[in-house]
Structure 1
Amino acid sequence: MTRPHAGELLRTVLSNCSARLLAMLGLTLATVLVARTGGPAAVGEYALLRMLPGLIGVLCVLGLPGALAYFLAEHRRDLPRLWPTLMAIGFAGGFVGTALWLAASPLIAKVFFPHESPWLIAAAGGTVATQLMLTVGKTALQGLEDRRGGDVVIAAEELAFLPCFVLPLVVGVHGLAAIIIGLALADVVVAIDAWRRVSRRLGWRRFGLAGHGQGWWGRPERSLGREVASYGLRGQVGGLITLLNLRLDVAILGAIAGPAILGGYAVASKYAELLRLPGTALTWVFYPRLAKLDENQAGTVARRMIRPALLGIIVAAIPVALLASPILRLLYGASFAPAVTPARVLVAGMVLAGASGVASAYLYGRGTPGLNSVVLGIGLVITVVLDVTLIPSHGALGAAFASTAAYLSTDALLIVLLLRLSSSAPRHRTAVAVSEGSS
């Protein structure tokens, strides 16, 4: 198979970055509205409800979102009973995740939402399934290489919350209830569109009407399910660790310092994560493409992208850091001024994110997600140790320093791993397979 044209790849990455920037704009506008109507405490609760249900959901689907692009590559997507197997995993995970949230809701309310009704926190469990439905639909589009559809869903995922949050406010529902309703409605609306695009990409016959295990519905294949779960769980570890590295500081800070301080830190974190968008876009675009190439071609393409991805983020970090103060004060008001310094610290932690995004795409595309997970696990250890050490005495700034150390460490290790493996891919093929099988 021939390698993708460089110009076409660049356009695809830029398109995905644009979609993610629109999503970030939607998130920013929503956060501003939440901040203006409820203050820093409401922003903290919003951040927790965006993170915790999704975390439980991805834990319960055996790594399905991370496995989809691999199993939906052109030479794998017509495996017998593939779709019934994938759907069975998704529905079972959504049911289990919702049940776990309901069972744990008294503890969740006590730790993270001490001033809210436990029944309201229990109701937020519905977003476990809605977030999962959206996430699986979005990653299915990635695997099917519907780049336009995937970009639309990425942007809509955040933009949809704003009108869905305004709707309960208009009818007189405020506070945390309005946030929960807005999140659930936005998930459902965008998920329906995502799955509509998936079915059109496959052909409308796939909307549950095809026989012989080729439609969405039918009897799942147990052995295929084990194969999907084996790949997915190895990647799931890395995906979960990435999520924890990005959000564990939020959870620990929220539990220790409370929603008000967390609200300011959540704003700082989202601002700094602007610099992670290109790396995420590179992973999104390159993962399914590299899965179609042979090992030498994949290594060549990935190595070629390292330098421009690295230099681009370093250059972009300078104005992002300098503009932190005026932008955060303008958007969120004077009460969010303490978020400026943590934002600048977090910006420093993002400078390697572009190159590490290429590295993660290479490892996933070559069928070795466990190696990615091992490296990210090192970063998680750094995050936990530094969070519990620094947050009690330094609050939000301690959380920022902990996350920055974890980001830089894991990103640097991923880049080194890419350079070493791709420079001697044939010689290491057997060793990588053995290592991956034991991870």
Structure 2
Amino acid sequence: MTETRPRPGDAVPDTVLPTEHSAAPTRTITGRIARLMAGNMAGRVGALASLGIATIMVARIGGPELVGAFTLVRILPGLVCHLSNAGLPAAAPYFLAGTDGAGREYDQSAVRPTLAWLTVAGALAGAVGWLAFSPLIHLAFFQSFGFWVALAATVPVFTQGFVSVGKGLLQGTDDLRGASLAIAVEEFVFLPIYLVILIGWYGPGALVTGLVLADVAAAAWIIVRLARRGFFKGWGRPDLRLGRTIAGYGLRGYLGQLIDLLQLRFDMALLGALAGPKVLGVYTVASKFAELVQLPGLALNYVLYPDFARDDRAEATRRTRRMILPALGVSALAALPLALIAGTALPRVFGEVFGDAVVPTYIRLAGVVTFGVTGLVMAYLYGVGRPGAASTGQAIGLVAVVLAGVYLIPRYDAAGAATATAVSFVATTVALLAWFRHVGRRIETGTGHPGTGERNG
């Protein structure tokens, strides 16, 4: 009989949250939430800082075109991984938590090796799929670099899958600090590896090699951390039936996150295909700079989702309603200093040629300022058992960025891509607020029981 642990996110590692009947003061929970938010934001800031330094290095070495190659080799393999591993990063924490929705314990001696085999299978499926479609991928994205670059990108498709699932495994073993730290490690390890490669090798081949070695290093770090927590002890045989159950759960649970990823990266993929790597490189700088505004919203979502899940649903509704304007205010305050320094910072840091990134940055900031509300409402919808509603809101944002991007990007290049993304951010927020109003009203009036059938799917 394995030890039953709380579902990931319900408690901080090595501590137990007080129950609603506990006499522990509220400030204990508040302090714990604050520490979790700080740790998660620190991990994300570290990742963004490392990615920013890497982008500056690439920009100084090869200009916008090489930055475009860097972006494509990072984003496209990641998109394939999300499809090929059947949402395993999202499913792993649930099955590692110990029990299913009916309170029955999963046999961890079967769960853990099954997750490992699914990770390998997903990585292999992604690599084979990329290899099969590499001629088309070359024509769409890599024509200016040669077919061999598209072919070589098969390797990061394989290696990225291990890193993405590994972070989910850390979360599932109640190592939330490790999961936050892994976010930073994943990006940081590229820097020293790439610096060593640059001693004798430049160009896109060096980028691909650096990214692959960074994935290997990050995956090794995750494996060591998992081993220290006893993840590899007491393994039995993988269970095919359990594997199908995990994959099915992962695909359902990961739909919203996949939509969110597509929404964030569709503009880059389309811009790279239509305008080429040089314009994409300029736009990448604008995009990453503006995305700094998302950090408070991401941390808010990360912490409040399990908090709302523990709350009485009517109380969660009232808390969310009170926090909507403050969440918007926090995002606005985060956007203001970025808007003030963008005009001078971007050309000075990345080079004068990146002065064209300033206008797209302003446009994206205008849209991403709503992200604090998005993170809050998504945490609420997941917490009251309505992940389908959250996915629907994200799907509306995806439709908005596709329609606006197809129209605007061929006409206005980077500015068109920024406008399409800004429109999608606002559309997502509006759709989620509509769902919040609908779900919250049913909860408060007692006319519905949202989420009774969605906790496990």
1:148 aligns with 2:166: no
Q: CA deviation at 1:225?
A: 3.4
Indicate the larger mover: 224-233 or 34-43: 224-233
In the aligned structure 2, how far is the partner of 1:91 from the partner of 1:185?
18
Given candidates 266, 280, 288, the residue that maps to 1:248 is 266
In the aligned structure 2, how far is the partner of 1:429 from the partner of 1:64?
31
Q: CA deviation at 1:286?
A: 3.6
Q: Percent identity?
A: 42
Q: CA deviation at 1:119?
A: 2.4
Instruction: Look up the match of 1:125.
Output: 154
In the aligned structure 1, how far is the partner of 2:32 from the partner of 2:321?
17
Indicate the larger mover: 296-305 or 370-379: 296-305
In the aligned structure 2, how far is the partner of 1:221 from the partner of 1:47?
36
What letter matches 1:83 in structure 2? R
In the aligned structure 1, how far is the partner of 2:392 from the partner of 2:326?
26
More helix by percentage = 1
Instruction: Look up the match of 2:411.
Output: 393
Indicate the larger mover: 298-307 or 62-71: 298-307
Unaligned runs of 5+ in 2: 1-17, 21-27
What letter matches 1:336 in structure 2? F
Q: Deviations over 1:47-72 (max 9, x none)?
A: 11110001001101211112233334
Instruction: Look up the match of 1:70.
Output: 94
Given candidates 320, 326, 332, the residue that maps to 2:350 is 332
Superposed, 1:308-323 pairs within 5 Å as 308-323=326-341
In the aligned structure 2, how far is the partner of 1:294 from the partner of 1:71?
25
What letter matches 2:344 in structure 1? P
Unaligned runs of 5+ in 1: none
In the aligned structure 2, how far is the partner of 1:306 from the partner of 1:144?
32
In the aligned structure 1, how far is the partner of 2:292 from the partner of 2:249?
30
In the aligned structure 1, how far is the partner of 2:381 from the partner of 2:169?
19
Q: Deviations over 1:160-208 (max 9, x none)?
A: 11112112111x221101111111111111122123223333x2xx31x
In the aligned structure 2, how far is the partner of 1:72 from the partner of 1:378?
32
In the aligned structure 2, how far is the partner of 1:250 from the partner of 1:169?
26
Contact 1:390 1:399 in 2 (8 A): yes
Contact 2:37 2:300 in 1 (8 A): yes
Contact 1:143 1:288 in 2 (8 A): no
Gap change, CA 1:392 and 1:179, over 3 Å in 2:
same
Indicate the larger mover: 309-318 or 398-407: 309-318
Local SS of the residue matching 1:219: coil
Superposed, 1:110-259 pairs within 5 Å as 110-170=139-199, 172-201=200-229, 203=230, 206-207=231-232, 209-210=233-234, 215=235, 218-222=237-241, 224-259=242-277
In the aligned structure 2, how far is the partner of 1:381 from the partner of 1:78?
40
Local SS of the residue matching 2:85: coil
Q: CA deviation at 1:46?
A: 0.6
What letter matches 2:239 in structure 1? P
TM-score (norm. length: structure 2): 0.86
Gap change, CA 1:141 and 1:295, over 3 Å in 2:
farther
Q: Deviations over 1:404-437 (max 9, x none)?
A: 0001110232244235424544846645446899
Instruction: Look up the match of 1:58.
Output: 82
TM-score (norm. length: structure 1): 0.89
Contact 1:124 1:180 in 2 (8 A): yes
Q: How many residues align?
A: 427
Instruction: Look up the match of 2:23.
Output: none
In the aligned structure 2, how far is the partner of 1:415 from the partner of 1:308?
15
What letter matches 2:74 in structure 1? R
In the aligned structure 2, how far is the partner of 1:286 from the partner of 1:139?
18
Instruction: Look up the match of 1:79.
Output: 106
Contact 2:387 2:454 in 1 (8 A): no
What letter matches 2:398 in structure 1? L
In the aligned structure 2, how far is the partner of 1:153 from the partner of 1:339?
30
Gap change, CA 1:28 and 1:331, over 3 Å in 2:
same
In the aligned structure 1, how far is the partner of 2:90 from the partner of 2:322?
24
Local SS of the residue matching 2:238: coil
In the aligned structure 2, how far is the partner of 1:293 from the partner of 1:196?
35
In the aligned structure 2, how far is the partner of 1:180 from the partner of 1:290?
42
Local SS of the residue matching 1:62: coil
